[in-house]
Structure 1
Amino acid sequence: MKTLLKYHVNIQKTLILLFVVTLFIVMVTGLDFILMALIIEFFLIAIFQYSLNLIKFNSKKYMKTDSRKVYIFLSTYVVIGFLTWLCLISLDIRDNNGTIKDIFELMMMSWLFLSPILMIQSLLISFFDLKNTHSKHLNHENT
């Protein structure tokens, strides 16, 4: 766990860079296999960032900043909505009047809007945590 928290910024930067490179390759080549890799990378980033921020949010070592609280709130909305959507698909629940379909279409649009913002926000939170941890370490050595 400590190793993960020590290198979290580098892991996030690497995952996001890999995602951007894969996105560029998909745009240039249009290959379906690469598109599947892009989707997998997207979910890897989301799982890593969400898990990391939940660990930090529940840790006494990290400050509960407003940015972290907003990230946890919005990302939990996305995760719970996505898991609910997966359950409805797997249970093959029919919606005769289209209300559920309309709600999930709106939710998916919000996920598309929120996802890049949450990725960047998580990376910024990690940079702040790294800077804050480093400055605390330096202050501790000086005393």
Structure 2
Amino acid sequence: MLRLSLGELDELASQGPPDAQGLCFLPYLDGERTPLLPASQGALIGLTRFSMTPQNLGRAAILGLACAIADAIDDLSRAGLEIERVTLVGGGSRSAALRQAVADLTGCTVAWPESREYAALGAARQAAWALNLHSEPILAVAP
């Protein structure tokens, strides 16, 4: 919507107030896998004359994604896993604003490895596990 590069969006988001003046962005633009909501749609909530700024929109986008990540981490914690470190991969991992928001929301250390084809590597590991080439399920792709 703002026609910005990731770097420009990151800068814009860092200029916005921490709460985006109440502007909330639900990032499920093409459905979502976690939680399983394949027909879900995104939403922009809390739009007022005062919250309708590029900085708030950028910040809300970052917070929406960070909250989705934090929600998934909460689910893992409720399942009994102790989460101390979050590794972000993909384009969003290059965003300092996203990394900081995830750290703030989760209380975890946030790491980000060099850019690679992590989706393909993860799919290959899952396929290997499915073919019984591994004795335990693989929960994460190591860098």
TM normalised by structure 1 equals 0.30
Which of the two has higher C-alpha Rg? 1
Structure number with higher helix proportion: 1
Structure number with higher strand proportion: 2
TM normalised by structure 2 equals 0.30
More contact order relative to length (CA 8 Å, sep ≥ 6): 1
